[in-house]
Structure 1
Amino acid sequence: MVPASATHLVLIPSYNTGPRVMRTVAEARAAWAPVWVVVDGSTDGTTERLRAAAAADDGLRLLVLPHNQGKGAAVLAGLQAAAEAGFTHALTFDADGQHPAPDIPRFMAASAANPAAMILGVPVFGPEAPALRVGGRRISNAWVAFETSGAVDDSLFGFRVYPIAPLRAVMERTRWMRRFDFDPEAAVRLIWAGVSAVNLPAPVRYVSKSDGGVSHFRYGRDNVWLSWMHLRLMVAWVLKRLRRP
């Protein structure tokens, strides 16, 4: 196993990901230590399996939320605990197996070289990627490019390294960013807060159901939520401009 970092950890929010989460955690642990999993009120029976894995592995820690609160809320809980433990940076890593564990050290090295920046993954899609998902993200990317003057190459890919202190500060000032709106809004608000972005390509894989793939994305519901988020951000962006002398 790799030696444990005292500054950078991998943070995996998990909600009803089924057996796939155990493979994801094993892949992440093979690439990095420590790895923390935040169980967001899962009811699929994976919590006890993760507890057993954490008990047998000093490089794995489990945080369990009492009920489902959303991806952003799970990340925030992990960030708060990580800051209390002295960590300065967190790489967010989806539990569903889409993110590339072998690229974790490369992203952590980029963060160590640019500690004030956030390291944003830019997805490189394989042929199995659903065309509707690939095409639909272009709308969100166009909005975020406008809101950040082109600083963010992809708004939705959650494979990222964040400096913990500024992300916590941004999240604790708003009641939003707690669910599916976390990834794009975090990037926008951190740019507004003066955090620079380093965009790095990384492969993304869509895991089939037969291979244990699980997705909680609902195209209609979540796109409505994203539209509401961008409306909020645009109003905030206009107000920021109006307040400038």
Structure 2
Amino acid sequence: MSQHYCFVIPNYNHTQAVAATVEALQKYAVPIVLVDDGSDYETQTLLEQLAAQYKNLTLFRRPVNGGKGAAVKTGLSLAYDMGMSHAVQIDADGQHDLADIDILMNESKSHPDAMISGQPVYDESISKGRYYGRFITHFWVYIETLSFSIKDSMCGFRVYPLADCMKLMGNQSLGNRMDFDIEIMVRLYWQKVPIRFISTKVLYPPDGVSHFNVCKDNWLISKMHTRLFFGMLVRLPDLLNAKLRSSK
């Protein structure tokens, strides 16, 4: 099967880094799918300027903000309809080290059936609450998969094998907000899609804008982990057999 890559960038009111991100991606000469998730007029205007400037950029506007997960799902579906085999998800807020795109894509080209994800390496810019809060999700993901093979399920810097994503999204409703990144990785693991990780620096710029809603998103993530826990129980025999086979 031939491999065709594109970039998918979800954007909601990010104006500080998105233009520089799109410019940096030009050297790869592949399509860019930029999903405007109901942004304000200022952001809409900037994104329209980018779409006019770069011929490889497809701008899709969601009229109402639906959340990061909703925007990524829209982008993945558009990429698949464009004939892409893989989509590289990049956030629009400047957190990801674009210098690692080559490593991410080369790993995917060597393992085209796998999902490739960044495994964050943080500096002092990350808050202690955000850093230690991630370990709660790590704990639940270990339980939901009965495995330590998922090193990080929250990093939005990843390569999706689109056929497997479309199969999953056709059979399962996935979260629309910050719960999406975690849920799709766990469910792809259940779908027996290999998941591989590369270490990558993640920065939290001092002027960066976070759309994480502490109350709403933590509640949605808690509900998601509850669903995944019971989903794990249904799959328990299969997961245990896989664990036994891997230990031999």
What is the TM-score of this pair, normalised by structure 2? 0.89
Letter of the 2:188 counterpart: L
Corresponding position of 2:196: 198
Deviations 1:174-216 (A, max 9, x none): 333221111000110000001011111100000112xxx1101
2:23 aligns with one of 19, 26, 41: 26
Unaligned runs of 5+ in 1: none
How far does residue 76 in structure 1 lie from its aligned partner after superposition? 1.5
Give distance in 2, aligned partners of 1:157 and 1:79: 17
Deviations 1:30-49 (A, max 9, x none): 55632221101111521222
Corresponding position of 1:105: 102
Residues 59 and 121 (structure 1), Cα distance of their counterparts in 2 relative to 1, 3 Å cut = same
2:219 aligns with one of 218, 224, 233: 224
Which stretch of structure 1 is more off in the superposition, 174-183 or 79-88? 174-183
Deviations 1:156-183 (A, max 9, x none): 1111101011112212323332211110
In the alignment, does 2:231 pair up with 1:240? no
How far does residue 114 in structure 1 lie from its aligned partner after superposition? 0.2
8 Å CA contact retained: 1:76, 1:168:
no
How far does residue 222 in structure 1 lie from its aligned partner after superposition? 1.9
Deviations 1:81-132 (A, max 9, x none): 1111110001111111111111112101110100000001100001111111
Corresponding position of 2:206: 208
Give distance in 2, aligned partners of 1:126 and 1:205: 7
Give distance in 2, aligned partners of 1:119 and 1:36: 19
Work out the number of aligned pairs and report it.
238
1:168 aligns with one of 166, 169, 175: 166
Which stretch of structure 1 is more off in the superposition, 59-68 or 155-164? 59-68
Residues 120 and 36 (structure 1), Cα distance of their counterparts in 2 relative to 1, 3 Å cut = same
In the alignment, does 2:191 pair up with 1:186? no
Give distance in 1, aligned partners of 2:125 and 2:14: 20
How far does residue 224 in structure 1 lie from its aligned partner after superposition? 2.0
Corresponding position of 2:153: 155
Give distance in 2, aligned partners of 1:172 and 1:69: 19
Corresponding position of 1:82: 79
Give distance in 2, aligned partners of 1:31 and 1:124: 24
Letter of the 1:157 counterpart: C
Which stretch of structure 1 is more off in the superposition, 220-229 or 20-29? 20-29
Which stretch of structure 1 is more off in the superposition, 179-188 or 221-230? 221-230
1:123 aligns with one of 89, 112, 120: 120
8 Å CA contact retained: 2:15, 2:46:
no
Give distance in 2, aligned partners of 1:17 and 1:161: 22
Corresponding position of 2:33: 36
Identity fraction in percent: 39
Residues 200 and 243 (structure 1), Cα distance of their counterparts in 2 relative to 1, 3 Å cut = closer
Give distance in 2, aligned partners of 1:46 and 1:81: 21
**Secondary structure of the residue that 2:107 maps to in structure 1?**
helix
**Secondary structure of the residue that 1:74 maps to in structure 2?**
helix
How far does residue 19 in structure 1 lie from its aligned partner after superposition? 3.4
Deviations 1:55-82 (A, max 9, x none): 2212222111111111121111111111
Residues 52 and 6 (structure 1), Cα distance of their counterparts in 2 relative to 1, 3 Å cut = farther
Which stretch of structure 1 is more off in the superposition, 165-174 or 132-141? 165-174
How far does residue 9 in structure 1 lie from its aligned partner after superposition? 0.9
8 Å CA contact retained: 1:29, 1:60:
no
8 Å CA contact retained: 1:12, 1:92:
yes
